[in-house]
Each structure stands twice: as structure tokens, then as C-alpha cells.
């Protein structure tokens, strides 16, 4: 708040208001309204996946996916070092243990280092498409097949990356590529898994709604009002992704020759425009004074108080966390906005 150029802001200029007004006007404000199903079908259809299960956040989407796959106490789940902590915490919420694998040079999980972390207790691999960069899914699916493991894609930051795993989980938080304010959705081709996730999301009510609950479940439901926003966003997802591709190209071109800046590999879809910066803290202060917000990269999981591990300084993820930041990235960012931002960065390094 307060920045002329915040790192993100939602773009709500389609039919969002119309659909929310419809939802409120119809009285369907809980999770039982028609927009939820419409959103689930629209997003699943967009991704060529058979089933969508909308829920309350990206974190609860991951939790539902792991529960549906039967992950519980004693089970291990392979999680990348370089991610937002929700990926690891979802494993904890179901009683499992996250086992961390370092990232490669594109920040996504280093597929070549997964096998060394597999044990007889490993049940799931959970790659994350960090900042919209697609993981090496061919290699990950091969490993999973070889060891009889299931795969959950954490696609919180990667709407537009086509799912290939057992389940893909998306966040719809307000800073994501598309949003419902707060929200999430799981996609799967497996009707049984979809049914399980829908059942667990809604307190495991029986179909007769007779208040007999045969398993521990959750209220992770998405409201009809949130789904109304999400539906309007899905309708424009192609346009949103195209605009973001242009934003990525313009940042690449503008920043390419600035000494002090190292560009990152291209992204399959642009969530946040990430880069590496010399004298990062000074640069961030300079940009903040110019009204430009930046954010730091994720801290490696081994540096988190809950997972402290003395190996962290040796990790690739740590190297990136030391000098990485991301720039304002939102769909309505114009070429003129980007010139201002790139100009400020150029000015900072020119001043020495």
C-alpha cells in the first residue's frame, strides 16, 4: 500500500462486478451457489482437465490434494527448498514430513537431485512452478513412475501452465495471475480423487446430509461470490497471459544491459518478474523512495525456524535468496510504467 507501483494489484475490469452483483442479488452468497460449479468447469476446461474442485486458498488446495492421496503420519513428501512455506506446511497439516530438494538455476526443483531423497516412506513429489517457471515435469513424472509415487503440482504461481500430474493446485489470492480475492482450486483427471477432495472440502457430509461424518474433514469451501470473481477472471485468462508475456519482454529488453542486474531464465507464464541485483538492499531503498515496491525472493526452507538445517548456506536456493528480488508485475502495467521502473534502476546503477 502507498506505492505508486506496488508489486501487484488485481485487474478486475471484466465482468467481475457484474457476476458478484448477480451472486449477491440472487441470495447465493455461501458456497452453494451456481458460480462455484461454473468456475470449476471453466478453469478445468481451460486446462483440458476433467475435474476442478474450488476451495478457500492455495494452501487448502494443497492440503486437500495430499489428504485425497492418503498422505498422513509417517509419510514423506518431496518439496522444493525454494518455495513459499505453504507448500511445506500443507504436508505438515496432514501429518506428513516434508523432505527438501534444492533448486536448479531456474529456481525450480532440481529434478536430478530428487532420487537421492527418496526413501521407503516417500509417497508424493510436490514440484512448484516458481514465479511461473515450469518445472522439468517429464523428468519428475518419470521418477514418480519408476518409484510408484504420486505427483502434486503446486501451480499457485502458474495459471496457464498445463497440468500433467495427478493433481495440480492453484492459488487465487489477490496477487496471483488470476484471483478470487482469497481462493484456490485443485484440478485432476481422476474422478475418484476429485470426489474425495470435494468431500473433504465440505466437512465430509454424507450425500443424505444426515450429520454422520465418517472421516475428519474441513470447511475449505469457496463462496459463490469469490467464484463469481474467479469466473470473470478465467474468461480473460488468455488476454491476461498475453499482456504478461509483453510485460516480461519489455522488462527483459529494458534491463538486459544494466550492469549490476542479472536476468533470470524465461518463464512459461509470468507471475512475478524476478531478477538478481547487486547491492540489493540499497537498490530496494532507492526504488521505494521513487514509489516502486519490490519484494525479496523466498527464503530457503532450511533457513526457516521450523526447518533449520545447517546445510542452508551451501544450497543453490540460498545463493538466489541472497540477491534476488522481484519487480512490480501486474496485468495492467503499461510500457510507460515499465520505462519509469527500468529508468529508476538504470539511474541507481549509473550513480555508482
Ligand X SMILES: Cc1ncc(COP(=O)(O)O)c(C=O)c1O
For residues 233-255, one letter each, b for 16 or more C-beta atoms within 10 angstroms of the residue's C-beta and e for the rest, the string is: bbbbbeebbebbeebbebbeebb
Provide the minimum distance between the beta carbon of 19 and ligand X in the complex, in angstroms, as a whole number.
Answer: 20
Provide the minimum distance between the beta carbon of 212 and ligand X in the complex, in angstroms, as a whole number.
Answer: 30
| Distance, CA of 122 to CA of 114 (rounded, Å) | 11
Q: How many residues are recorded in the chain?
A: 352
Interface positions, 66-85, toward ligand X (CB under 6 A) = 83-84
Does residue 10 touch ligand X according to CB under 6 A?
no
For residues 46 and 297, which CB has a smaller minimum distance to ligand X in the complex?
A: 297
Interface positions, 140-159, toward ligand X (CB under 6 A) = 154, 156-157
Does residue 168 touch ligand X according to CB under 6 A?
no
Does residue 57 touch ligand X according to CB under 6 A?
yes
E strand or H helix at 327? strand 324-327
| Distance, CA of 11 to CA of 18 (rounded, Å) | 14
Helices (H) and strands (E) in the chain, counts: 11, 11
| Distance, CA of 231 to CA of 150 (rounded, Å) | 29
Cα separations in angstroms, 328 against 8, 131, 206: 6, 13, 46
Does residue 86 touch ligand X according to CB under 6 A?
yes
Provide the minimum distance between the beta carbon of 82 and ligand X in the complex, in angstroms, as a whole number.
Answer: 10
Question: Considering Cα of 131, then 92, then 217, then 189, what sign does the dihedral take?
Answer: positive
Interface positions, 287-346, toward ligand X (CB under 6 A) = none
For residues 86 and 222, which CB has a smaller minimum distance to ligand X in the complex?
A: 86
Provide the minimum distance between the beta carbon of 152 and ligand X in the complex, in angstroms, as a whole number.
Answer: 11
Does residue 33 touch ligand X according to CB under 6 A?
no
Does residue 184 touch ligand X according to CB under 6 A?
yes
Provide the minimum distance between the beta carbon of 103 and ligand X in the complex, in angstroms, as a whole number.
Answer: 12
Does residue 63 touch ligand X according to CB under 6 A?
no
**Could you tell me the three cell numbers for 228?**
463469481
Judged by the rule CB under 6 A, the positions of this chain that interact with ligand X are 57-59, 83-84, 86-87, 128, 154, 156-157, 171, 173, 184
Amino acid at each position: 500500500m502507498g506505492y505508486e507501483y506496488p508489486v501487484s494489484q488485481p485487474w478486475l475490469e471484466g465482468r467481475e462486478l457484474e457476476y458478484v452483483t448477480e451472486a449477491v442479488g440472487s441470495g447465493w452468497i455461501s458456497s452453494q451457489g451456481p458460480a462455484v460449479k461454473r468456475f470449476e468447469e471453466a478453469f478445468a476446461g481451460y486446462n483440458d482437465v476433467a475435474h476442478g474442485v474450488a476451495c478457500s486458498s492455495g494452501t487448502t488446495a494443497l492440503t486437500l490434494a495430499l489428504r485425497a492421496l492418503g498422505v498422513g503420519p509417517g509419510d514423506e513428501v518431496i518439496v522444493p527448498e525454494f518455495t513459499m512455506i505453504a507448500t511445506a506446511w500443507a504436508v505438515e497439516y496432514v501429518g506428513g514430513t516434508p523432505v527438501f530438494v534444492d533448486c536448479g538455476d531456474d529456481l525450480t526443483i532440481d529434478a536430478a537431485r530428487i532420487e537421492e531423497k527418496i526413501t521407503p516412506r516417500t509417497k508424493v513429489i510436490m514440484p512448484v512452478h516458481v514465479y511461473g517457471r515450469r518445472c522439468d515435469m517429464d523428468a519428475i513424472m518419470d521418477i514418480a513412475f519408476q518409484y510408484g509415487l504420486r505427483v502434486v503440482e503446486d501451480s499457485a504461481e502458474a495459471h496457464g501452465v498445463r497440468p500433467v500430474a495427478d493433481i495440480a493446485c492453484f492459488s487465487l489470492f489477490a496477487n496471483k495471475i488470476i484471483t478470487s480475492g482469497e481462493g484456490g482450486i485443485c484440478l485432476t483427471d481422476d474422478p475418484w480423487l476429485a470426489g474425495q477432495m470435494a468431500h473433504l472440502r465440505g466437512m465430509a457430509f454424507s450425500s443424505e446430509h444426515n450429520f454422520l461424518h465418517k472421516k475428519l474433514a474441513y470447511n475449505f469451501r469457496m463462496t459463490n461470490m469469490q467464484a463469481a470473481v474467479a469466473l470473470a477472471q478465467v474468461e480473460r485468462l488468455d488476454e491476461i497471459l498475453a499482456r504478461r508475456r509483453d510485460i516480461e519482454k519489455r522488462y527483459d529488453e529494458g534491463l538486459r544491459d544494466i550492469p549490476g542486474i542479472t536476468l533470470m531464465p524465461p518463464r512459461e507464464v509470468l507471475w512475478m518478474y524476478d531478477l538478481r541485483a547487486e547491492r540489493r538492499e540499497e537498490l530496494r531503498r532507492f526504488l521505494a523512495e521513487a514509489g516502486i515496491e519490490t519484494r525479496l525472493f523466498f527464503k530457503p526452507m532450511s533457513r526457516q525456524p521450523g526447518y533449520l538445517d545447517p546445510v542452508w548456506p551451501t544450497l543453490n536456493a540460498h545463493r538466489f535468496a541472497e540477491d534476488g528480488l522481484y519487480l512490480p508485475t501486474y496485468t495492467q502495467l503499461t510500457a510507460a510504467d515499465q520505462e519509469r521502473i527500468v529508468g529508476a534502476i538504470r539511474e541507481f546503477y549509473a550513480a555508482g
